[in-house]
Structure 1
Amino acid sequence: MYLSKRTILLFHTLSKSEGPLTSNYLSQVVGVTSRTVKKDLQVLGEIIASYGAKLCSKPGRGYQIYVDDERSYQELVRLMEQNDLVADQNIPRYSYERVNYIIKKLLIIDYYIKFEDFMEELYVGRSTITNDMKMVRENLQQYGLKLIHTPSRGTIITGKESAKRQCIAEYFFHNAVGERFYVKDNIMFNSNQNQKELAHLRHELLSVLMDYHIHLSDLSVENLMIHIAVMMRRLTFSNYVECSEEQMSYVADTPEWEAALKYCGILEDVLDMDIPRSEVVYLTMHLISKHINEQMDVSAKRQNDLREVIIKGLRAVKKQYRIDLCGDLELIDLLILHLEPMIRRIQMGMVMRNPLAYESTIRYLYASWITAGFCREIEASYHIHIDFNEFGYLVLYFNMAVERCRNAEVKKVALVCGRGRPEMITILSQMKEALAKYHVTFTMMDTYQIPQINVQDYYLIISTVPLELPKSAPLIVLHAFDESEIHTVKHFYQYLEFKDIPFSRYLKSSRVVSLRGEHIHAVLKSFSRILEKRMDDSAGKWNQINEMPLCISDNHIAVLLNGVDAAETSFLIGKLEKPIEKDHRIIQVIICVQCAACDMGWLSGILYVLSKWIRDEEQVNSFFKDSSISCIQKQFLDIIERE
């Protein structure tokens, strides 16, 4: 988290003082009002408490640091010195950076903060802070939290304690730009004392899970430890969750409840405090949401209802994207196993963390596209919103199904040899090995048989002698048939998947446009207006653009999974005038692929090439320098040639 120079200066001033210092004196040291300095001291006190010390306030005398653990405290001194060196460089520059900073500070401090305080800390004017607060409010709404502002008192976050904890976990641990996932890496918990405590609690957690036969993935254990660390910190400041009778009844008499009871007893010893029953329910719900069950404990009716919804979703995918997965029993069984606990997690307000969600969705862009269509049916049937973590897991299931569907399509390859049958058998063996990963059947023939066959029946024709065939025929002639030619055959086979995609036609009607906006909703609104004009959208389909999934790459390019029917296939590429942030990932470009029904057969290949382009850092950097359609066309063709 960014620490202002004021906060660092306050720490140095207090740490060197032998006695208490008044807020009046400290305000003169850092050049702000007494009211502002008290808020800075609140932030400082939160951090100091994690390093074996406490910041005490004595009425009439002032503030003083008292050290309980010298070794942990010296770690904080070292960290503050490092922070002092980079404080100037770390001042938030863009809107998304300021939004993250404001949310973090409001989450730490449970009382009102004035706009003037943020203006002083971030070196911006009131209008800038006012605009940033709009995005702060929208971001908090995702967690069911509200931003309350009164002119006389300032701004504060309100909402359920469980929602605040989820928000803290997100902003301080999971997705913070440039920060690590694990609890031990966070500045609030990386003192020696905290590390020993957390290591002990992790060991005890694993022991309890084993005793009650509760199986969690390694990732879920790390995620749970983050929530336990946040829970401990909030309990220290008397912030308790509330639970309903319905929630209490839901978790009662489960193995997870018994495990949570036992573990909370361990936490009570560590914290030296009584933990309310509501906190046990809270921990139980985390365990239930993360528990890996190989068999579902649900009624046959609910399972059949879920199967019907899945089939309905797969039929919608077939109708819109021309890919039939309705008969894939393996996919259906996997979806039943995953969707039942997923729906339960969402209804309980829990999230199953997926740190590879964005990487998976960009890599498997076609699977992401059809998953988005499937999820629309699931959301409508169960009145839920599938968050991107869960969406990323579903993409993996659909990608495996797409691969099975692709491999189920048998492709015929002809082997024509003018050198005799023995050599043809040798070539056949080598070709079977070279194309083993593809579902291919080989037909051996002599040159005299060529006029008798329909060339279009064959996906590829491999010959050891020149043949007189139409120019459009997929022919490759071998000469020495060494390793380099085997490599050539493999690449040519892959190339055939994309060579007929009319990218030049698609790109001819494509455009690169400029997008304005300080935050994602403003940018998408600007994008939707352009899309409405291009498509004459009288039905208002682009009004729902904020609900459409966005796959965001590490190269700051996002792809909009729109699912909107188009009259012609094209790309609309929006370049942002300023980078923005969504889910703690930076966006500089948004791409909308519009695919006409007549081109759905090419959608898989189109998105495959697009995915390759997005993940190619060199190509992306080149695009940022030259954003013309002709440049993009050349880059796409380069990718196809390489493939």
Structure 2
Amino acid sequence: MLSKRQIGILELMELGDEYTGEQIAGMLGVTARTVRADMRVLSSTLSTFGAVIDSKRGKGYRLTVHDPEAYNRMKMQTQEMEDQSDRVVKLALLLLQRKTFLKLEEAAETLYVSESTVKNDLRVLKKDLESRGLAVITKPKYGIRIIGSERQLRNVYRSFLEADAIIPGLKDKRYQELRELVVSVLKEEDTLVTDIGVDNLVIHIWIASERMDAGLVADISQSDQESITRSKEYQVAQKLAKSVGIVLGVDLPKDEIVYMTMHILGAKSVSYEEKGVKDFTKVVEPRVMEISRELLRIVDNHMQLALSTDNELLCGIALHLKPALNRFKYGLTIRNPMLSEIKQAYPEAFDASVLMGKKLQELTDVAINQDELGYLALHVGAAMARQESQRVKKRALVVCATGIASSQLLYYKLRARFSGRMEVAGTCSAADLQRRSLEDIDLIISTVPLTSTLSTPIVNVHTLLRESDVGQIERILTDRKQTLSAYIRADHIFLQQTYTNRDDVLQFLVEQMKKRFVVPSNLLALIKEREEMAPTFQENLVAVPHPIYPVMDEPVVLCCTLQQPIDWGGNEVQVIFLFCIPKQYNEGLQQLYESMVVFIEDRQKVKQLIHAQDLAACLPLLS
């Protein structure tokens, strides 16, 4: 069914107003691209529940409900699914806020549900917690309890708080007072911490106070105590603990101050922008610099992205690793709210970060989680964008009826929209076009019909440059000619398979690869290794497994659909694309990534593919 965000869009549109994608994005705190993807999902879903979303150029989206009964039934079904998810989070928090057992009847009374409902929710929660390294024990006459190290319990406690956006007191004056106090002390002590780092630190302090109220204190090893108490950051933590204790009404013991120091070390950053790269090595240890270089080398070796010579990227990676290595060392976590969007929007950059994570684990003997991988991918994505901007730009000529006011308006709109990718060489009228040489022009953008036959591509647009006009220009700039079907042959498609687990599906697809291509003998192991680093689930029941590094000379894609969804790293999957990219990165590969993303975001097409019984029904969906 629909996600919370999509239901939120519907509730917004139920007010009866029209909203543009940008307005909805601003109100929900997401990108316009995410809103467009959500609108595609809503449009395909609502058509079977008596409602439709109309889109008008320049005005926005409007919801029209033709069958209120069917529409409300759909919302109730979605709400029922959300209700269990919410209850599981609240049940987890009840357990994590106490040192003793929680009786079933007490949980049922607190959550306003029956004991049988609590038992069902507990089964879901137990599976989740076990995947995080915690155990749930049930003791007759006593109840339920979560078992694990205090550090694990606090990390999980935090993730459940953030999952439901219910950090206790997050909006009240006391929480804000605590945050302002933390910022003030860090500033006084000249300790630079990013906004995300400050939020992490404040939430940690809040959780520490909650756990201490339940009689649970951080357990710090003697070796960690000895090394951390000698650091400058420990002195900062001592001052912070004293001030915080007054606000929260608690007296933080030494173990908690040491634990707070760990968080400061994990959040502390350095700034080099004003000093320049020349002085950068003075604030980052040689070991961190060498690790950063090694991470870039491993990506270049396997993906040929030519990143090793990008000093700005080297600085970004090293600056991220400096506090990150402390987080790894002390088992601390940092949340990446953009993770899902990063994985979907920048798949090649995320794959590069996975390779970095694997190498980092070899060099430091610590495992890096998906949130950290996402931040590394942002740095890589920025570097790839810089490379793209340095490529030869296409030169465009703007043609309008008069060649004066309207052409100037379009000229500046094009410059703003395609800056760095297209150079607007000039403007002229339709009459002047006949006398102008077009040898240096790659594209003509015209607001008037051009009757003459020209070898240069022509795009007819509106003076105000509508979204459909932008799409036409985008297709020429990126030379998008290929669709997903160009990369998937008919004999690479396997419909309505009966496999019930991930390993069996992967085994089957690898066997099909071996029948058709020369592949490494350890291809299956390379694919599973990639899954262990970060599951390749995308969205809309689709997974895109692939080897942890490229192994083919040309891109190869195999497609498999299942009769029933299977578990794929905690998500349901029913469509699998085995994705083997070439060793050499090129523009064709970028087209493959983009066509894959476009298909996966189209929920209606994915749904039709799942139900397709033969190639005749399947192939048009991939075109």
Query: Structures share a fold, TM > 0.5?
Result: yes
SS at match of 1:292: coil
1:100 is displaced (CA, Å) by 5.6
AA of the residue aligned to 2:315: D
Q: CA deviation at 1:557?
A: 5.0
1:164 to 139, 153, 157: 153
Q: CA deviation at 1:121?
A: 3.0
Secondary structure of the structure 2 residue equivalent to 1:606: helix
How far apart in 2 are the matches of 1:360 and 1:183? 28
1:308–1:401 Cα change, 3 Å: same
Q: Which amino acid aligns with 2:235?
A: E
Counterpart of 1:39 in structure 2 is: none
Amino acid of the structure 2 residue aligned with 1:263: L
Is residue 507–residue 629 contact of structure 1 (8 Å, CA) maintained in 2?
Answer: no
Q: Find 1:529's aligned residue among 473, 487, 507.
A: 507
Aligned residue type for 2:559: L
**Pair 1:549-2:541 in alignment:** no
CA RMSD of aligned residues (A): 5.2
- Equivalent position of 2:548 in the other structure: 563
CA distance in 2, matches of 1:588, 1:105: 34
Corresponding residue of 2:223? 246
Q: 1:320 to 1:573 in 2, by over 3 A?
A: farther
1:385 and 2:367 aligned: yes
- Confirm or deny: 8 A CA contact 1:572 1:591 kept in the other structure: yes
Contact 1:573 1:590 in 2 (8 A): yes
User: TM-score w.r.t. structure 2 length?
Assistant: 0.66
132, 139, 150: which one pairs with 2:131? 139
Supply the distance in 2 between the matched residues of 1:100 and 1:579 (Cα, whole angstroms).
23
Residue matched to 1:180: 165
Select 1:370's aligned residue among 352, 360, 382: 352
Task: Give the aligned residue type for 1:494.
Answer: R
Do the aligned residues in 1 keep the contact of 2:495 with 2:612 (CA within 8 Å)?
A: no
Q: Which amino acid counterpart does residue 121 of structure 1 have in structure 2? A: E
SS in 2 for 1:263: helix
Distance 1:569 1:109, change over 3 A: same
Cα distance in 2 for partners of 1:167, 1:478 equals: 54
CA distance in structure 2 between the aligned counterparts of 1:601 and 1:482, rounded to whole angstroms: 31
Alpha-carbon spacing, 1:351–1:251, altered in 2? closer, same or farther (3 Å): same
Corresponding residue of 2:485: 504
Deviation at 1:402, TM superposition (A): 0.8
Question: Quick check: 1:121 aligned with 2:102?
Answer: no
Instruction: Output aligned runs, 1:309-320, within 5 Å.
Output: 309-320=291-302
**Aligned equivalent of 1:204, options 162, 181, 203:** 181
Q: Does 1:278 align with 2:255?
A: yes
Measured in 1, the distance between the counterparts of 2:222 and 2:280 equals 21
Q: Deviations over 1:588-641 (max 9, x none)?
A: 76654332447854222222233344445666676677698777765665xxxx
Give per-residue Cα distances to partners, 1:316-356, cap 9 Å, x unaligned: 33343332222212111211211222122211211232212
Map Cα deviations across residues 446-494 of structure 1 (whole Å, 9 max, x no partner).
Answer: 99999xx9xxx9966889675586xxxxx42478996669985872453
- Offset of residue 279 of structure 1: 0.8
> 3-state SS of the aligned residue for 1:550?
coil
Following superposition, the deviation at residue 359 of structure 1 comes to 1.9
Aligned mates of 1:480, 1:196 — CA distance in 2:
53
> In the alignment, what sits opposite 1:258?
235
Q: Deviations over 1:360-399 (max 9, x none)?
A: 2222223222222333222322222221221111111111
1:115–1:129 CA contact under 8 A, matched in 2: no
Gaps of 5+ in 2: 1-75, 109-113, 428-432, 515-519
Cα distance change of structure 1 residues 151 and 328 upon mapping to structure 2, 3 Å threshold: same
Describe the superposition over 1:511-562 as per-residue Cα deviations: whole angstroms up to 9, x where unpaired. 4566876xxxxx5434433333333474233343541323666756555464
Alignment match of 1:438 (pick from 406, 421, 427): 421
Q: 1:529 and 1:581 mapped to 2: Cα distance?
A: 14
Who is 2:52 aligned against? Answer: none
Alignment of 1:79-478 (within 5 A): 103-104=92-93, 106-111=95-100, 121-123=115-117, 135-136=127-128, 138-141=130-133, 145-146=134-135, 156-171=145-160, 173-174=161-162, 176=163, 179-180=164-165, 182-184=167-169, 195-269=172-246, 274-294=251-271, 303-411=285-393, 413=395, 433=415, 436-438=419-421, 466-467=452-453, 475-477=456-458
C-alpha change, 1:550 and 1:360, in structure 2 (3 Å) is: same
Distance (whole Å) between structure 1 residues aligned to residue 613 and residue 380 of structure 2:
33
Aligned to 1:594: 580
Percent of aligned pairs sharing the same letter: 21
Quote how far apart the aligned CAs of 1:238 are.
1.5
Q: Output one character per residue of 1:224-250: Cα deviation in whole Å (capped at 9) or x when no partner.
A: 332222211211121111212332233
Letter of the aligned partner of 1:159 in structure 2? Answer: G
How many Å apart are 1:406 and its aligned residue?
1.3
Aligned pairs (5 A) from 1:2-41: none
8 A Cα contact 1:512 1:573, kept in partner: yes
Identify the residue that residue 12 of structure 2 maps to in structure 1. Answer: none
Is 1:610–2:602 an aligned residue pair?
A: no
- How far, CA to CA, are the matches of 2:590 and 2:461 in structure 1? 35
Is this contact kept in 2: 1:107–1:168, CA < 8 A?
Answer: yes
CA distance in 2, matches of 1:624, 1:484: 38
Q: Determine the structure 2 residue equivalent to 1:572.
A: 559
Matched residue of 2:308: which SS?
A: coil
SS of corresponding position for 1:572: strand
Instruction: Give the match's secondary structure for 1:385.
Output: coil
**More displaced, 303-312 or 460-469?**
460-469
Paired with 2:282 and 2:542, the residues of 1 have a C-alpha distance of 44
TM-score by length of 1: 0.64
Q: Secondary structure at the match of 2:457?
A: strand
Q: Deviations over 1:299-326 (max 9, x none)?
A: 8798444444434433333343332222
Q: Partners of 1:218 and 1:429 in 2: how far apart?
A: 38
Counterpart-to-counterpart distance in 1, 2:141 and 2:301? 57
Mean Cα displacement is larger for which, 342-351 or 491-500?
A: 491-500
**1: CA distance between counterparts of 2:221 and 2:466?**
69
1: distance between equivalents of 2:159 and 2:381? Answer: 27
> How far 1:165 sits from its partner (Å)?
1.0
Separation in 1, partners of 2:398, 2:102: 79
Larger radius of gyration: 1
Distance change >3 Å, CA 634–CA 366, structure 1 → 2 = farther
1:358, 1:401 → 2: CA distance? 20
Q: Partner letter of residue 484 of structure 2?
A: F
